[in-house]
C-alpha cells in the first residue's frame, strides 16, 4: 500500500517530520515501511506558463511556442504537442529539471531553434498517464507552481503488516497513527452532512451476515469529464490510474477513508430496487476489467431486476458502469463480510483494491462517511451535479463493541515495565479509544468502530497498543525466574544426529533433497502412483507427489555429481511419507530414513558395496546382510541385499542396475531410522574377563563358488554349544587343486570354558562336531 506523505501531512496538520523519518517512525510504531521514495521531485522546476504565440517549424510537426511565465519572463520552447496553441495555460519544465529516468531538461537546440526547457504532457511529470498533448490548466497564474501538484514522497507499507488493520488501508487511518505518534491533532476530511429527503432507491439485503450495511446516494445532472489535474496527480502518485471524474473520486475516497464505493450508471440499472443476494449457481457477470466471471452459489452479488450487475466487494459490472454519456449515478457504499469477499476473490483469482480492503473486515460505520466525502468532491469535479432525494441506508442493527477491562497491574506485568495510568489513557485516546475508569486499578476501554471489526477484542490487543506507542525500545530486557532443571530429552533426535555424524566421519557428505517427485519419476522407479500422496497445487508438474522413498532423488544426486567427480559418497536423512489408513487425524506416516550412496567411475563395484556394508555395521551394530528377494527395476539383480536387526528388516543395500548408472558403479544403502531407533542396542552388561585360556582350531570348507560365507559361518556357529566363543572367517582360496566351480572357505573357531582349561579331548570333540555339521550340510573339508 502506497501512502503519499503530502496527503498524510494534510490530514495531520503541523507535521514536520521529514518523510524518511516518518517511514522509520511508522515502522517502529505501526507497520512495516518497505521504503520511502521521492515522487516527482522535479516539480520544483515546473511552473505554469501561458502560450502566447505559436509559429510552425519548417519541415517538422513541431511548433515554436512563445510562452509567458509571469515573473520568470518570456521564453521560447519547441513543442511537438498537437494541442499547443496560443492562450492555453500549461506546464513549463524549466531548464535544470531532472525528470524520471534521469532525463535532464536544459536549453537545447531543436530543429535549429533554441528551446528553453519544455512544455510537459501528463506522463512526463507524473501527473497522469496521458501523452497525447501538453497539460492544460484552468486556474492559476503564469509563473506559479502547478496548483495542487507538488513534489511528494511515497511511503510504501508492507501489505502483510496491514492484514489486521482495515483502517490503515486509507490515508486517514495512517494519518491518525502519525498524529498519535507525533502528538498532533487529526483533521477529518469528511464534512458533516444533514441528510434529508426520501430515499430514491430501495435496497433489499438477503443476508445481513454477508452484507451488514448497504448505503447509497443517487445523483443527476452528472457530467463525465477528466478529473482536475491535482486529483489525477494524487491518484497517479499512489499508483492508481486516473479514469474520469466520478470514478476518480470513488478511488480517491477509497484511498483516503479505506471504504470502497462503486458508481453505477443509474439509467442502466433496471427497476428501482437493488438486491444484495447470493449469486445463482452459474450466474455470469461481465466485469469492468472486460473479463466474464461465472459465479457459484456462494458469491455475493449486487443485482437489479435484470440480474447480477456487480460482484459484491470485488468488481463492478461493465454494462452498468460509468461511461462518457452517463448523466445519472447510483453511488454504492456498502459493507460486506470479510470471509465471503475473500472466498469469492480467491475463487475467481481476482484481487482488486476493493476486495483487498473488504477482506480485512471494514467498518460498517464508514459507509455513509464515504458518501458524504464523495458528495463533496463530486460537486467539485462535476459542477451542476444534484443529489436526488436523500440517503439510502439499509443496515443490520449495530451492537456497539463491548468495553474491554484493562487491569493496569496486569498490563505492566505483560509489558515488563510500569506504564503510568495517565500515559495509558493518553495513548488510547490518541488512537480514538474511549477510556473510562473501571475501579481503582483498571480501565474500561472501548475501541473505535474501525478497530472493533476484527482487530481489537481482548485486553492482549490493548497491550500491543500501549507497547508500541511507549516504544518497545523503552522496555529493559529481564531474565525470567524459571526452574533450573534439565529439559526433557529428545533421544530419537539425538540418535539420528549421532548417525549423521558417523556417516559424515565415514566420508559421506550430507545432501538435502526435496520431498516432492514427479509422476514420471515415480513410475520410472516402479513406485505405484496411488501409493503417493498427491499435491493438489504443485509448484511445477514435476513436483506433484510426496516421496515414499529417498532413492529417486539420491539416484538423481549420483547422476548429477558423476558429471563432475570420479568417485564420491553422499547421504541424506529425510522422511518417507506413506499413506496410512485409520490414523486418528488421517495424517500419513512419516518414516525417517537414511540413504547413503557411493559412486565410483572405476572398479567392479564390490569395494563400494563393502563400504556401504561397513557403514551399515557402524550405524546399526549387529545388522545382518542377506540376499534380497523381490528385486526392483533399478537394482542390480545379483547385488541386492536386505539388512536385518533382531529379525526385523531395517534396510536394504544394492548396486544400481547398470542401465541406471551408465558411467560407473553406484550403490545405495537405505536404512529405516525409526526401526533402528526402536531396535537400538541396550546398554551392554559387561562379562568378567576369562580366567582360563581359550583354544582355537581352523577349518577349511570346500563349497560351490556361490555359497555364501555367511551361510557356512552360521552353519558352524549353530553346530557349537556354550563353549563356542566365536567363528571368524579367515579367508578364501580358489585354484588348484580345487575344481573350477569350487572354493575353500577358512574359518577359525575359538572355544573355551569359564571354569577350566579345555582338555585336548574336549577340543577334539568340538572340532568333530563342527566337521560333522559341515559334512551333514553336504560340504567337504579341505585337509
Q: 536-565: which residues touch another protein (CB under 8 A)?
A: 536-539, 546, 553, 556-557, 560-561, 564-565
Nearer to another protein, 28 or 221 (CB): 28
User: 392-421: which residues touch another protein (CB under 8 A)?
Assistant: 413-417
**What residues contact 239, with CB distance under 8 A and at least 6 apart?**
2
Quote the least distance from Cβ 31 to another protein, whole Å. 7
b or e along 356-386 (b: 16 or more beta carbons within 10 Å of the residue's beta carbon)? bbbbbbbbbbbbbbbbbbbbebbeebbeebe
Give 52's contacts (C-beta < 8 A, 6+ positions apart): 66, 67, 68, 74, 86
Residue 207 sits in the site that holds another protein (CB under 8 A):
no
Q: Of the candidates 58, 138, 160, 528, which one interacts with another protein according to CB under 8 A?
A: 160
* Residue number with CB closer to another protein (235 or 511): 511
Q: Which of 2, 29, 280, 284 binds another protein (CB under 8 A)?
A: 29
Residue choice 144, 296, 510, 742 for contact with another protein (CB under 8 A): 510
- Whole-number Å distance between alpha carbons of 332 and 389: 15
The least distance separating another protein from the CB of residue 547, rounded to whole angstroms, comes to 11
Task: Provide, rounded to whole angstroms, the least separation between the CB of residue 512 and another protein.
Answer: 5
Is 38 a binding residue for another protein by CB under 8 A? The answer is no
By CB under 8 A, residue 504 contacts another protein = yes
Residues whose CB falls within 8 Å of the CB of residue 353, separated by 6 or more in sequence, listed in order: 240, 251, 254, 260
Cell 484481487, located at residue: 351
Q: Is 359 in the site for another protein (CB under 8 A)?
A: yes
For another protein, the closer of residues 251 and 345 by Cβ is 345
Residue nearer to another protein on the CB measure, 94 or 361: 361
Rounded (5°) CA angle 660-661-664: 160
125/667 with CB nearer another protein: 667
Task: Tell me how far, at minimum, the Cβ of 568 lies from another protein, in Å.
Answer: 5
Q: Could you check whether the bond before residue 783 is cis, i.e. omega within 30 degrees of 0?
A: no
Binding of residue 292 to another protein (CB under 8 A): no
Yes or no: say if 50 and 40 are a contact pair by the CB < 8 Å rule.
no
198 versus 498: smaller Cβ distance to another protein: 498
Pick one of 19, 133, 467, 664: the residue that binds another protein (CB under 8 A): 467
Comparing C-alpha atoms, which of 26, 24, 8 is closest to residue 16? Answer: 8
Q: Output 118 or 676, the one with its CB closest to another protein.
A: 676
Contacts 24+ apart (CB under 8 A), 421-430: 423/470, 424/466, 427/180, 427/465, 427/466, 427/469, 427/470, 428/462, 428/465, 428/466, 430/179, 430/180, 430/183, 430/469
Q: Give the one residue of 2, 284, 318, 343 binding another protein; rule: CB under 8 A.
A: 343
Give the dihedral of Cα atoms 228, 233, 236, 237; nearest 10 deg: -150
**Cβ-based nearer residue to another protein, 3 or 375:** 3
Residue 512 grid coordinates: 538435502
We find the least distance from the C-beta atom of residue 736 to another protein, in angstroms, to be 33
Using CB under 8 A, which of the segments 478-486, 623-631, 632-640, 759-767 binds another protein?
478-486
3 state DSSP class of 712 = helix
| Residue selected from 570, 669, 675, 770 as contacting another protein according to rule CB under 8 A | 570
Residues 720-749 interacting with another protein (rule: CB under 8 A): none
Q: Which of 109, 185, 489, 783 binds another protein (CB under 8 A)?
A: 489
Give the per-residue SS3 of 175-224: HHHHHHHHCCCCCCCCCCCCCCCCCCCEEEECCCCCCCEEEEEEEECCCC
C-alpha span between 285 and 329 (Å, rounded): 20
The one among 22, 31, 372, 428 contacting another protein by CB under 8 A:
31
Rounded to the nearest 5°, which phi and psi values hold at 755?
A: -115, 0
CB of 27 to another protein, least distance (A): 6
Q: Please give the C-alpha separations between residue 749 and each of 272, 323, 632, 696, 734, in angstroms, as whole numbers.
A: 105, 102, 38, 5, 21
Q: Between residue 577 and residue 636, which ones bind another protein under the rule CB under 8 A?
A: 577, 585-588, 590
Distance, CA of 657 to CA of 639 (rounded, Å):
9
What's the Cα-to-Cα distance from 161 to each of 4, 29, 197, 431, 484, rounded to whole Å? 18, 12, 42, 18, 37
Site for another protein (CB under 8 A): which residue of 74, 85, 164, 318?
Answer: 164
Residue 151: Cβ-neighbour burial (10 angstroms; 0-12, 13-18, 19+) = middle
Nearer to another protein, 83 or 182 (CB): 182
Going edge to edge, which strands form the sheet with 262-265?
262-265, 329-335, 213-220, 386-395
Nearest to 371 by CA among 379, 383, 361, 382: 379
Which of 24, 38, 86, 141 is the binder for another protein (CB under 8 A)? 24
Residue 479 found at the interface with another protein (CB under 8 A): yes
C-beta of 346: minimal distance to another protein in Å?
Answer: 8
765 near another protein, rule: CB under 8 A: no
Q: How many residues bind another protein (CB under 8 A)?
A: 96
The correct pick among 27, 83, 150, 642 for binding another protein (CB under 8 A) is: 27
Cα dihedral sign for 27, 31, 36, 39?
Answer: negative
Q: Residue 141, interface with another protein (CB under 8 A)?
A: no
Q: What is the DSSP letter of 420?
A: -
By CB under 8 A, the residues from 519 to 538 that bind another protein are 533-538
For the CB of residue 535, give the shortest distance to another protein in the complex, in Å: 5
Would you say 295 or 499 has its CB closer to another protein?
Answer: 499
Closer residue to another protein in complex, CB, 170/199 = 170
- Which is closer to another protein, CB of 319 or CB of 507? 507
Binding segment (CB under 8 A) for another protein, from list 94-102, 513-521, 706-714, 761-769: 513-521
Question: With contact defined as beta carbons under 8 Å apart, do 137 and 324 qualify?
Answer: no
Here's the x/- map for another protein, 423-462, by CB under 8 A: it reads as -----------------------------------x-xx-
Residue among 371 and 503 whose Cβ is closer to another protein? 503
Nearest approach, Cβ of residue 296 and another protein (Å): 15
- Give the H/E segment covering residue 742: strand 742-751
Return the number of the residue (131 or 493) whose C-beta is nearest another protein: 493
Give yes or no for a contact between 773 and 736, defined as CB atoms under 8 angstroms apart. no
- Tell me if 782 contacts another protein by CB under 8 A: no
CB of 414 to another protein, least distance (A): 6
Let me know if 307 is exposed, middle or buried by CB neighbors in 10 A (0-12, 13-18, 19+): middle
The distance of closest approach from Cβ of residue 308 to another protein in the complex, given in angstroms and rounded to an integer, is 22
CB of 620 to another protein, least distance (A): 18
The angle, 0 to 180 degrees and rounded to 10, between the axes of the packed helices 421-430 and 171-182 is 150
Taking contact as CB under 8 A, which single stretch among the options 44-52, 156-164, 263-271, 324-332 is the one that binds another protein?
156-164
Query: Angle, to 10 degrees, between the axis of helix 19-29 and the axis of helix 171-182?
Result: 90
Give the Cα separation of 90 and 83 in Å (integer). Answer: 10
Which residues have CB under 8 Å from 147's CB, separation 6+?
48, 137, 139, 140, 229, 230
| Cα distance between residue 227 and residue 134, in whole Å | 16
CB nearer to another protein: give 478 or 686. 478
| Residue closer to another protein, measured from CB, 538 or 710 | 538
Among 43-51, 434-442, 473-481, 620-628, which window interacts with another protein (CB under 8 A)?
473-481
781 binds another protein (CB under 8 A): no
Q: Which is closer to another protein, CB of 33 or CB of 268?
A: 33
Specify the residue, 220 or 510, whose C-beta has the smaller distance to another protein.
Answer: 510
Amino acid at each position: 500500500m502506497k501512502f503519499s506523505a503530502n496527503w498524510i501531512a494534510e490530514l495531520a496538520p503541523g507535521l514536520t517530520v521529514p518523510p524518511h523519518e516518518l517511514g522509520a517512525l511508522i515502522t517502529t510504531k505501526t507497520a512495516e515501511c518497505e521504503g520511502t521514495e521521492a515522487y516527482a521531485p522535479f516539480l520544483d522546476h515546473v511552473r505554469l506558463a501561458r502560450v502566447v504565440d505559436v509559429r510552425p517549424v519548417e519541415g517538422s510537426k513541431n511548433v515554436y511556442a512563445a510562452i509567458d511565465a509571469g515573473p520568470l519572463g518570456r521564453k521560447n520552447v519547441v513543442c511537438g504537442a498537437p494541442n499547443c496553441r496560443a492562450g492555453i495555460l500549461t506546464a513549463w519544465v524549466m531548464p535544470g529539471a531532472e525528470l524520471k529516468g534521469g532525463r535532464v531538461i536544459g536549453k537545447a537546440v531543436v530543429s535549429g531553434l533554441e528551446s528553453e526547457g519544455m512544455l510537459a504532457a501528463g506522463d512526463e511529470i507524473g501527473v497522469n498517464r496521458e501523452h497525447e498533448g501538453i497539460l492544460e490548466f484552468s486556474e492559476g497564474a503564469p509563473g506559479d507552481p502547478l496548483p495542487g501538484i507538488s513534489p511528494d514522497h511515497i511511503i510504501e507499507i508492507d501489505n502483510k503488516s496491514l492484514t489486521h488493520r482495515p483502517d490503515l488501508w486509507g490515508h486517514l487511518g495512517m494519518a491518525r497513527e502519525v498524529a498519535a505518534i507525533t502528538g498532533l491533532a487529526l483533521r477529518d476530511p469528511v464534512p458533516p452532512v444533514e441528510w434529508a429527503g426520501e430515499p430514491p432507491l430501495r435496497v433489499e439485503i438477503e443476508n445481513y451476515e454477508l452484507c451488514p450495511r448497504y448505503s447509497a446516494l443517487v445523483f443527476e445532472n452528472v457530467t463525465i469529464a477528466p478529473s482536475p489535474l491535482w486529483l489525477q496527480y494524487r491518484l497517479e502518485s499512489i499508483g492508481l490510474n486516473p479514469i474520469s471524474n466520478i470514478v476518480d473520486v470513488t478511488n480517491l475516497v477509497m484511498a483516503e477513508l479505506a471504504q470502497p464505493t462503486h458508481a453505477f450508471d443509474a439509467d442502466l440499472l433496471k427497476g428501482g430496487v437493488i438486491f444484495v443476494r447470493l449469486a445463482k449457481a452459474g450466474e455470469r457477470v461481465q466485469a469492468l476489467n472486460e473479463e466474464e466471471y461465472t459465479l457459484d452459489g456462494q458469491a455475493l452479488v449486487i443485482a437489479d431486476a435484470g440480474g447480477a450487475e456487480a460482484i459484491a466487494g470485488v468488481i463492478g459490472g461493465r454494462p452498468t458502469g460509468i461511461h462518457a454519456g452517463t448523466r445519472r449515478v447510483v453511488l454504492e457504499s456498502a459493507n460486506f463480510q470479510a470471509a465471503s469477499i475473500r472466498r469469492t476473490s480467491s475463487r475467481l483469482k481476482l484481487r482488486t483494491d476493493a476486495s483487498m480492503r473488504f477482506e480485512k473486515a471494514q467498518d460498517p460505520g464508514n459507509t455513509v462517511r464515504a458518501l458524504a466525502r464523495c458528495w463533496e468532491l463530486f460537486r467539485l469535479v462535476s459542477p451542476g451535479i444534484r443529489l436526488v432525494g436523500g440517503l439510502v441506508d439499509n443496515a443490520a442493527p449495530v451492537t456497539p463493541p463491548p468495553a474491554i477491562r484493562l487491569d493496569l497491574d496486569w498490563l505492566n506485568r505483560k509489558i515488563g515495565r510500569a506504564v503510568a495510568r495517565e500515559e495509558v489513557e493518553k495513548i488510547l485516546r490518541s488512537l480514538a479509544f474511549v477510556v473510562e475508569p473501571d475501579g481503582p486499578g483498571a480501565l474500561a476501554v472501548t475501541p473505535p468502530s474501525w478497530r472493533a471489526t476484527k482487530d481489537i477484542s481482548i485486553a492482549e490487543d490493548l497491550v500491543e497498543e500501549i507497547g508500541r506507542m511507549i516504544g518497545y525500545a523503552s522496555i529493559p530486557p529481564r531474565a525470567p525466574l524459571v526452574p533450573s532443571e534439565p529439559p526433557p530429552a529428545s533421544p530419537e533426535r539425538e540418535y539420528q544426529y549421532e548417525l549423521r555424524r558417523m556417516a559424515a566421519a565415514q566420508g559421506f557428505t550430507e545432501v538435502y533433497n526435496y520431498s516432492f517427485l514427479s509422476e514420471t519419476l515415480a513410475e520410472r522407479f516402479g513406485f505405484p502412483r496411488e501409493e503417493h500422496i498427491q499435491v493438489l497445487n504443485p509448484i511445477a508438474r514435476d513436483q506433484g507427489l510426496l516421496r515414499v522413498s529417498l532413492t529417486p532423488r539420491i539416484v538423481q544426486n549420483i547422476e548429477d555429481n558423476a558429471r563432475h567427480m570420479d568417485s564420491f559418497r553422499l547421504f541424506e536423512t529425510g522422511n518417507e511419507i506413506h499413506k496410512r489408513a485409520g490414523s486418528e487425524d488421517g495424517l500419513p506416516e512419516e518414516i525417517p530414513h537414511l540413504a547413503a550412496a557411493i559412486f565410483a567411475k572405476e572398479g567392479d563395484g564390490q569395494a563400494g558395496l563393502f563400504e556401504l556394508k561397513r557403514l551399515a555395521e557402524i550405524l546399526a551394530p549387529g545388522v545382518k546382510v542377506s540376499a534380497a528377494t523381490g528385486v526392483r527395476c533399478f537394482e542390480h539383480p545379483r547385488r541386492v541385499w536386505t539388512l536385518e536387526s533382531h529379525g526385523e528388516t531395517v534396510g536394504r543395500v544394492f548396486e544400481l542396475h547398470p542401465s541406471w548408472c551408465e558411467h560407473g558403479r553406484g550403490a545405495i544403502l537405505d536404512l529405516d531410522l525409526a526401526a533402528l531407533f526402536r531396535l537400538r542396542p541396550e546398554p551392554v552388561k559387561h562379562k568378567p574377563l576369562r580366567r582360563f585360556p581359550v583354544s582355537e582350531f581352523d577349518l577349511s570348507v570346500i563349497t560351490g563358488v556361490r555359497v555364501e560365507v555367511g551361510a557356512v559361518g552360521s552353519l558352524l556357529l549353530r553346530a557349537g554349544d556354550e563353549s563356542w566363543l566365536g567363528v571368524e572367517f579367515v579367508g578364501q582360496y580358489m585354484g588348484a587343486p580345487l575344481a573350477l566351480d569350487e572354493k575353500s572357505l577358512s574359518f577359525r573357531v575359538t572355544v573355551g570354558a569359564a571354569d577350566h582349561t579345555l582338555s585336548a579331548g574336549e577340543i577334539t570333540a568340538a572340532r568333530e562336531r563342527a566337521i560333522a555339521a559341515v559334512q551333514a550340510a553336504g560340504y567337504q573339508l579341505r585337509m
